[in-house]
Amino acid sequence: ETGVTQSPTHLIKTRGQQVTLRCSSQSGHNTVSWYQQALGQGPQFIFQYYREEENGRGNFPPRFSGLQFPNYSSELNVNALELDDSALYLCASSLRLAGGPEQFFGPGTRLTVL
């Protein structure tokens, strides 16, 4: 186990609703990245947080937003849910280094949007 935890494990929402997913990073790690993995696809980078600031963002609309707290835990918020938001959301923590740090993933939150 990596020590990265995510909650909840599963979630069902309806179109238009808002959702908050949570992640606790591995002890000693100061960076959290979020990824979206659609069924049968590889994970796609959503954004990264380092010391409570957004530090890079993938090709996702502004309705995907996040937070990082002083203890380095993080939240992913998605507003105005769409059917295509149904996916496994993975959180990864790492210790910021000069490029290419090992990222350790949590078990994911499976979101279903009906």
Partner 1 sequence: AQKVTQAQTEISVVEKEDVTLDCVYETRDTTYYLFWYKQPPSGELVFLIRRNSFDEQNEISGRYSWNFQKSTSSFNFTITASQVVDSAVYFCALSEDSGNTGKLIFGQGTTLQVKP
Measured distance between the N- and C-terminal CA atoms of the chain, rounded to whole angstroms: 32
Nearby residues of 38 by Cβ (< 8 Å), 6 or more positions away: 44, 84, 86, 87
Biggest distance spanned by C-alpha atoms of the chain = 41
Q: What are phi and psi of 112, to 5 degrees?
A: -115, 125
Helix (H, G, I), strand (E, B) or coil at 74: strand
Q: Which of 56, 61, 79, 82 binds partner 1 (CB under 8 A)?
A: 56
SS3 state at 19: strand
> Does 39 sit near partner 1 (CB under 8 A)?
no
Q: Does 111 bind partner 1 (CB under 8 A)?
A: no
In the region spanning residues 14 to 33, those forming contacts with partner 1, defined by CB under 8 A, are: 31, 33
Distance of CA 85 to the CA centre of its chain: 13
Decide whether 18 or 87 has the Cβ nearer to partner 1: 87
Tell whether residue 41 is a contact of partner 1 (CB under 8 A): yes
Q: For residue 36, state whether it binds partner 1 (rule: CB under 8 A).
A: no
Binding part of the chain for partner 1, among 16-24, 64-72, 78-86, 88-96 by CB under 8 A, reads 88-96
Q: Which residues bind partner 1 (CB under 8 A)?
A: 2, 31, 33, 35, 40-45, 48, 55-56, 58, 88, 90, 92, 94, 96-108, 110
